[in-house]
Chains A and B, each alone.
Chain A
Amino acid sequence: MLRLLETFFRHRLLLLGPVALVIAGSIGWVVIQPPAYDSSVRMWVERQTLVPDPNSNPYLSPAQEQAAVLTELLSTKYFDSKVGKRSRLADSIRTGAAGSQDGMMTRVTQALARALGRAGSPAELSSSQVDDQVAAIISSRTIVIPTGPEVITLTFRAGSSDLAARVAQAIADQYLEETLANQRVQADAAVAFYTSQMKQSQADLSVADKAVDDYLLANPGQRGANAIPDARLVQLRRDDDAAHQRLQTVQDKLDQARLNRVALDQVGVNGLRVLDRAEAPTSPSSIRKVALEATGVGLVLATLIVVVGVLVLTWMDSTIRRPQEVEDILDLRPVGSVPRVG
């Protein structure tokens, strides 16, 4: 430990030089950041009671569950491109208007790339490239936080207040739409399945009814109210009752599936609704977050430089510096150490 400390103080200028550069870089990074606007949407999420969700996790709050789902969706190009089209972010990127939301470094890099002929102008972007940029922007600038057991706060950061509000609202709307569409697909599938089951059950019931009727027609003695039914008739009647029961069960399920499907057309039944719509912020968001991020990154980098530097310099130092090392490393007997004079 002392050896490491000595190495640090011996090479303090060498080690602290890069640290100073990192700190200067962090400060510079904060300074060159363009103004950013944050727009938030708050959504109410609750467990579905009318239309139960088979994937619901009882150990998570509804907000945690839905926030995780939304975060997953945000990382998909499919979802982001739909948000891009809904919010007209894709059009902004295509026309280059979204450039104002990029950081200074990004803009400088893009300008250099264009100057070197390594990147096309925004007007030349293909739809796939636009989708890529949309996905990159949305996934990196959206924060989804469950701010309560049943409230999700979705925040999008952009270079203009209008764009921030549009994209934030578009994400919320698209999410609601996706969730509803998914549930509707499941409900439609259930209705279709039970409808086919219903037809099958009705056919089975007709066959059972006809078998009983045919038997009674062939055996008139069994028709009387006081007639003792034979074994065959008893069996046929039991089959008929079972067919009735099956039909009733399927009918109930079909009714429930139809109810679910109809319920999904009603607002709020799926447990999701927007409480606070996104509004265009009137002032840029605080620089504190960027400063904190830059400070954190700077501190981590600086610590890394110092620790790795000290370890490497200590490892590279193959000389004897203390009498104790004479014994430990050379296995010789030290008789003294003369301090540096002057």
Chain B
Amino acid sequence: MAAVSRDSLPARHEPKPEIRPESARRSKKAVDEVRIPKQMMEVCRSASLLLGGPNIRRLGITSTLREEGRSSIALAMAVVQREDYGRVVALVDMDLENPTVARGHGLELWPGLAELARHEATSQEVLQPLSDGLLVVSAGALAASAARTMTDIVKDNTLGELEHHVDVIIADMPPLLGGGPGSAASRAFRDLLLVIRAGVTPVARIKEATEDLQVVPHVLLNDTRTSLPRWLRRLTGR
């Protein structure tokens, strides 16, 4: 994947020093490439095709609980959209309570989605390049509760503003259960991809999480593993 020069990006909005976390003060580093396991990329490539491929405009990646691999899948789906279809992708970190995307890639923690919702930053200011054609919108700094901020984001169609600058939005959403604004965030999407960690998430919790969704999510089973020995897999054709 080609590297992106930060000089070519729009000017960054500098937040007030007193509200910036310590982690944001670290030096900016260029992201040369995004490392994603090859098998995950292949599965996400197939999944992307099933979800609409180059026709996807806005895709929310969510899960029932935390630690199901949602962020990794979201990143992989974003890379697939960029690599396979050459589209400009915005990977939006909508997990306002526990943002990981920007921190994980050494990007600025704000301005982000929260600032965009509060109109304290423009779309150009919140879009940070991760690689060529792959932009990241961090969660930003919350001025109100996560639920209130998410309601504002959905109500004001904040993601719609971003859509003017990119071809597709891939959102790393909060989990649907756990008291967070996951359910509210799902209202911003017509396409939802529910990541389920195989052998971990109880069925009852998944059903509880999906029964209130306004759209029927597609499911990506993550972290699957067969415990059958190789000879038995050959025997059973698996």
Contact = CB atoms under 8 A, between A and B. Distances in A.
A340 B203 contact: no
Interface stretch (B20-28, B107-115, B221-229): B221-229
B43 interface: yes
Interface in B205-231: 206-207, 210, 216-229
B40 interface: yes
Contacts of B46: 335-336
22 contacts: A2-B228, A319-B198, A319-B200, A320-B198, A320-B199, A320-B206, A320-B221, A321-B199, A326-B196, A330-B207, A330-B219, A333-B216, A334-B218, A336-B43, A337-B220, A337-B224, A338-B43, A338-B223, A339-B223, A340-B224, A340-B225, A341-B40
Interface in A296-342: 317-323, 326, 329-330, 332-341
B8 interface: no
A338 B202 contact: no
Contacts of A333: 216, 218-219
B230 to A, nearest CB: 11
Residue of A317, A323, A332, A338 with highest tally of chain B CB at under 10 A: A338
B232 interface: yes
Contact of B220 (A318, A336, A339, A341): A336
Interface stretch (A4-12, A134-142, A158-166, A275-283): A4-12
B69 A338 contact: yes
Given A333-B219, A335-B46, A6 B226 contact: yes
A318 B199 CA distance: 8
Interface residues of A, dominant DSSP: mixed
Contacts of B201: 319-320
Interface of A: 2, 5-6, 9-10, 317-323, 326, 329-330, 332-341
By secondary structure, the B interface counts as mixed
Interface residues of B, number: 41
Given A318-B203, A336-B43, 20 more contacts: A6-B226, A6-B227, A317-B199, A319-B198, A319-B199, A319-B201, A332-B210, A332-B216, A332-B218, A332-B219, A334-B219, A335-B47, A335-B193, A336-B50, A336-B221, A337-B220, A338-B39, A338-B221, A339-B223, A339-B224
B17 interface: no
A317 to B, nearest CB: 8
Contacts of A336: 43-44, 46-47, 50, 220-221
A330 B210 contact: yes
B223 A9 contact: no
Contact of B202 (A2, A9, A319, A339): A319
A23 B43 CA distance: 45
B144 interface: no
B29 interface: no
B104 interface: no
Contacts of A326: 196, 219, 221
Contacts of A6: 226-228
Contacts of B198: 319-322, 337
B195 to A, nearest CB: 9
B48 to A, nearest CB: 9
A330 B218 CA distance: 11
Most interface-central of A319, A326, A330, A335 (chain B CB within 10 A) = A335
A326 to B, nearest CB: 5
Minimum-distance CB pairs A-B, first 5: A337-B221, A10-B227, A335-B47, A9-B227, A340-B225
A320 B40 CA distance: 19
A340 B223 contact: yes
A338 B198 CA distance: 9
A2 B236 CA distance: 8
Nearest to B72: A338
B228 to A, nearest CB: 6
